[in-house]
Amino acid sequence: MKTIVIASANPVKLKAALEGFHAMFPEEQFDVINEKVDLGIPNQPMTDEETLDGATLRANEMKSRHPEADYWVGIEGGVADWPIGMGTYAWVVVLSGEKMGRGRSGEFFLPEIVAEKVRQGVELGEADDLIFSRNNSKQANGAVGLLTGDVIDRARLYVPAVVFALIPFKNPDLY
Cβ–Cβ < 8 Å for 107, 130:
no
- Tell me the whole-structure pTM to 2 decimals: 0.94
Average pLDDT, the chain: 95
Q: Which bin fits 164, alpha (ψ -120 to 50), beta or left (φ > 0)?
A: alpha
Whether pLDDT at 166 is above 90: yes
CATH of 2-109+153-170, one of 3.30.310.50, 3.40.50.620, 3.40.50.720, 3.90.950.10: 3.90.950.10
Give the integer Cα–Cα distance in Å for 37 and 52: 16
